[in-house]
Amino acid sequence: MNKHPESTESTGPSDEQQITLRGPAELADALPYLMGFHPDDSVVMVALHGGRGRFGGRLRMGIPPVPGEWAPVARRLARSLIEGSELRDSRPDAIVVFLCQDPAEGESANQVMERLRPFAQHLRTACGAHDVPVLEALCISGGRYWSYCCPDPRCCPAEGNQLALPGTTVMAAAAAYAGIQVRGTLRDMETRYLPGDPSVTAGQERALDAAGASLVSRILDPEGRRQVSAETLALAGSLIERLGRTPASRPGEADAEDDRLIGHDEAAALILGLQDRETRDRAAEWMEGRDAGAALRLWRALARRCAGPYAEHSAAPLTLAGWVSWSTGDEAGARVALGLALRADPGYTFAQLLHQACNRGLDPETLRRCLREERDLRDRPGEPGDGREEPRGGQAEAGRPMRAAGPRRRAPHRADGHPVPARGGTRRGTARRQEYGTPGPAATGDRHRMRVRRARRPGTRSDR
């Protein structure tokens, strides 16, 4: 009668419990429980394994607004999900695709479905190119769902089907029994990281201008740069302790209280200081134990302060928030924060790598262990970080990459964000190529950047 799978097993609530989902209605209802939130304005792909369709890796990204981007995005998503599944578990036997977008003003849900149909076809073709079929492709819009794979109007009519009432399906019952909660929509979760009150952001922007004017001369000096890094980490530790002494309030009030605990000048110094890659990697060590919760509150508060021309600066605190969320087991929160970091700066390599690892279901303990070892190495007597200078004159420590004393030139990157392999030799009159060596403490390979805006003057370009 139709091409829908008769049963799809989910092991989401627990490894011992299996839930059988029959048909697109129950697949559509299961999506928020698979992701931990309602993924509005998103394309979601879920890998299926085995003859009965066990859920595996999954990924989500915003639907590209330009149809011309759909084909390359589909190829990239298909490759990422399939290769990630192979690394984590095994090659998928099939894939389920969800396109979720509510109608715009003056648009019907049926029009949304038809508008996104070419994107669904690109995704099916891209997966098929890897010999992995798309078992089902659903469009969810305006409280209804459609199947792009089933031509039978008896089960998939042209007007779509109504979504089940929340909490009335087998997946909802199993999730409630397992203690799994759906934390609202994607927009609700993103709000906690985005600038809000204009009166707060205006004052923060002035503080960032002033901090940039005072820090720029220090950052250009190698010794001053080290001092700024030390001051940034000391201030971050102090604010984490301050937030840790103040218990978190109810979700609706917690962010406003955290904002009141952090001054504009303190936030400005931290936002600018975290643009340094090595400083940011050191800040990533607040990732577990009693400090993790307060650190997450701090990184969220800093992301909310990056408004206006400083929006791109939010990539650093957003990535740290995503890392702490992933490290503490909150994969849904990690995906949201890392997605926002890549929206702020698509080339931010640390966010790219963490987002990829989280989507592939990798274990964050590998990175945690690396950060612990780096911290232990730094704290040993005679090691860098105990007040003594690092070796100079081209002599690097065993197992540690050479670190430039000043800002580094960005290495060329391909469109997918990966560095372009360096060619032998250099051209006369060009800058000597950057040698990255082995990954740093967070295994990011991220370029070193220090963005400091000059104080704006009336009539200048920055003032406009």
Quick one: pLDDT at residue 435? 27
Sign of torsion, CA 326 330 334 337? negative
Tokens of 455: 């104080």
Q: Which amino acid is at 126?
A: A
Q: What is the pLDDT along the chain (464 residues), one digit of tens a residue?
A: 344 443 333 333 334 456 666 678 778 888 888 888 888 889 999 999 987 778 888 888 889 999 999 999 999 999 999 988 888 778 999 999 999 999 999 999 999 999 999 999 999 999 999 999 999 999 999 999 999 998 888 888 889 999 876 655 666 666 655 556 667 788 888 888 999 877 778 889 999 999 988 888 888 888 889 999 999 999 999 999 999 998 776 766 788 889 999 999 999 999 999 999 999 999 999 999 889 999 999 999 999 999 889 999 999 999 999 999 999 988 889 989 999 999 999 999 999 999 988 877 788 998 999 999 988 888 776 554 444 333 333 333 333 332 333 333 334 444 444 444 443 333 333 333 222 223 333 333 343 333 433 333 333 333 33
Beta bridge partners of 136: 96
The reported pLDDT for the residue numbered 133 is 95
pLDDT tens digits, residue range 177-202?
Answer: 555 666 778 888 888 899 987 777 88
Model-wide pTM > 0.75: no
Domain spanning 8-187: which CATH class is it, in words? Answer: alpha beta
Q: Where are the domains of the chain?
A: 8-187, 192-379
Asked if 40 and 186 touch (Cβ cutoff 8 Å), the reply is: yes
Average pLDDT taken over every residue of the chain: 77
Question: Residue 221: what pLDDT?
Answer: 85
DSSP 28: H
409-444 as b/e: b if 16+ CB within 10 A: eeeeeeeeeeeeeeeeeeeeeeeeebebeeebbbbb
Cα gap 333→287, rounded to integer Å: 14
First CA to last CA distance, the chain:
62
Alpha-helical regions (H) of 89-221 = 109-129, 170-178, 186-191, 198-220
Helix, strand, coil shares, percent, the chain, to 5: 45, 10, 40
